Amino acid sequence: MEMTLNSESKRSSVIPMAIVAGLFFILGFATWLNGSLMPYLKQILQLTPFQASLILFSFYIAVTFTALPSAWVIRKVGYKTGMALGMGIMMVAGLLFIPAAKTQVFGLFLFAQLVMGAGQTLLQTAVNPYVVRIGPEESAAARVSVMGILNKGAGVIAPLVFTALILDSFKDRVGMELSQLQIDEMANSLVYPYMGMALFIGFLAILVKKSPLPELEKEDDQVEGGKGHTREALSHPNLALGVVALFFYVAVEVIAGDTIGTFALSLGVENYGVMTSYTMICMVLGYTLGILTIPRFISQPTALMISAILGLLLTLGILFGDNNSYAIANVLLVPFGGAMLPDTLLMIAFLGLANAIVWPAVWPLALSGMGKLTSTGSALLVMGIAGGAFGPLFWGLTSSATSLGQQGGYMVMLPCYLFILFYAVKGHKMRSWK
């Protein structure tokens, strides 16, 4: 049965899209806090680059275990209740940061991140089909781009809020050895912001549950349930390869957005906590270009191909760039009162421009022709978010194994962009494995 909005929800898509837009903002805010949290915890707990990457690993690995169960939950309770449950789990995760900060036990931070990832997975699985199915398939990338602007716009705001509430008082401690009293002070500063975020998300969960958000028509549970339906979905190459493409995409997106602060800390940049905002600004710009050009001037596959090529070029620039060169900042930032930042750091931020269109382009290409398999296909695509766990992990391992250190770690992005290029050129067209 083709997923459609029921007769009541067809009357207007304005209210549903407004509600969904708010949820994408919440998803972005909670997700991109990691970009500031990772170097902050690295400084407090004196972590190696590999240990710091586990902060992201524990957040994104939750997708691997909870994506398909999330699809089952949504089939049982509906998309609307699934969204509310997802936010409820995120609220619990926010509260878990309180004992983690008080005890400064690394494992508790990782557990809180794991729970936050599980809540986000349920919310993602419920909310993404709304955007794809609420209008024509050929313009789905543009609608997802609008949601992406809100998601990444929250990514711009989250590091700034983190810095204003937490980091501003500790800028003078970059690169210095901390006393236990200073560590306690920095750790305790996390308590009230995360408590406030948890309570706010819980309040929104109640509002969503009681909102007039229309329900997407449920799929046949007898057809949808079980491993057979997953195998049937994966028999579609455009979906299966789309899952892999999203895995590699999220890997490079998280590397660009969440390791930039840690790399900046290693270069002695005082405002390392706001570096994720630079990447997110570039992503917002990319989403805006997507809205203006897709499908009016370029197709979704063409936009995907351009993104992959740009990602490859920027990655090579990062690997072979000079950390002591400030040519880009002297042209784009300093004349307008901006910060003096190394070229390599800014090229990591520019990856946001290359990455922006990948997610909104892959989703409709991967779900094309899925019909009754849409919710399982959606869950499998959400599983691609697990790339956010392994991308930074391999970045951390490579950083420790190369003479270039953290700069050399960015070489792990090259095969990721190569696969995305393959999917843009050929993979999305495949309808049979033969």
pLDDT in the model for residue 174: 63
Is residue 4 included in any domain, yes or no? no
pLDDT in the model for residue 223: 44
Is residue 301 included in any domain, yes or no? yes
Q: How far is it, in rounded angstroms, from Cα 228 to Cα 313?
A: 41
pLDDT in the model for residue 132: 67
Is residue 164 included in any domain, yes or no? yes
Average pLDDT over residues 42-69: 84
Is residue 272 included in any domain, yes or no? yes
- Residue 98 binned pLDDT confidence (cut-offs 50, 70, 90): very high
Q: How far apart are the first and last CA of the chain?
A: 26
Q: How far is it, in rounded angstroms, from Cα 388 to Cα 38?
A: 14
Is residue 257 included in any domain, yes or no? yes
Q: Which of 70-84, 134-148, 171-185, 401-415 has the least mean pLDDT?
A: 134-148
φ/ψ (deg, to 5) at 12: -160, 135
pLDDT for 417 beyond 60: yes
Note whether 198 and 396 are within 8 A (CB).
no
Is residue 2 included in any domain, yes or no? no
434 compared with 82, residue with greater pLDDT: 82
Is residue 21 included in any domain, yes or no? yes
pLDDT for 222 beyond 50: no
| Bond prior to 364 in cis (omega within 30° of 0) | no
Is residue 1 included in any domain, yes or no? no
- Residue 2 binned pLDDT confidence (cut-offs 50, 70, 90): very low
Q: How far is it, in rounded angstroms, from Cα 296 to Cα 44?
A: 49
- Residue 134 binned pLDDT confidence (cut-offs 50, 70, 90): low
- Residue 114 binned pLDDT confidence (cut-offs 50, 70, 90): very high
228 compared with 157, residue with greater pLDDT: 157
pLDDT > 90 in the chain, percent:
28
- Residue 170 binned pLDDT confidence (cut-offs 50, 70, 90): low
Q: Hunting for tokens 């405002």 — which residue is that?
A: 271
Average pLDDT over residues 346-370: 88
pLDDT > 70 in the chain, percent:
88
Burial label, 355 (beta-carbon count in 10 A; 0-12, 13-18, 19+): buried
Average pLDDT over residues 216-235: 63
- Residue 410 binned pLDDT confidence (cut-offs 50, 70, 90): very high
Beta bridge partners of 216: 5
Tell me how many domains the chain contains: 1
* CATH code: domain of residue 284: 1.20.1250.20
Note whether 259 and 351 are within 8 A (CB).
no
**Averaged confidence pLDDT in the chain:** 83
pTM surpassing 0.95? no
pLDDT per residue as tens digits for the range 28-40: 888 888 878 888 8
pLDDT in the model for residue 290: 81
- What is the domain range of residue 73? 10-216+224-429
- Residue 310 binned pLDDT confidence (cut-offs 50, 70, 90): very high
- Residue 350 binned pLDDT confidence (cut-offs 50, 70, 90): very high
User: 345: closest CA among 283, 280, 252, 259?
Assistant: 259
Q: Which of 49-58, 133-142, 154-163, 209-218 has the least mean pLDDT?
A: 133-142
pLDDT per residue as tens digits for the range 252-304: 999 998 899 889 988 888 788 788 889 989 988 888 888 788 778 888 889 89
314 compared with 238, residue with greater pLDDT: 314
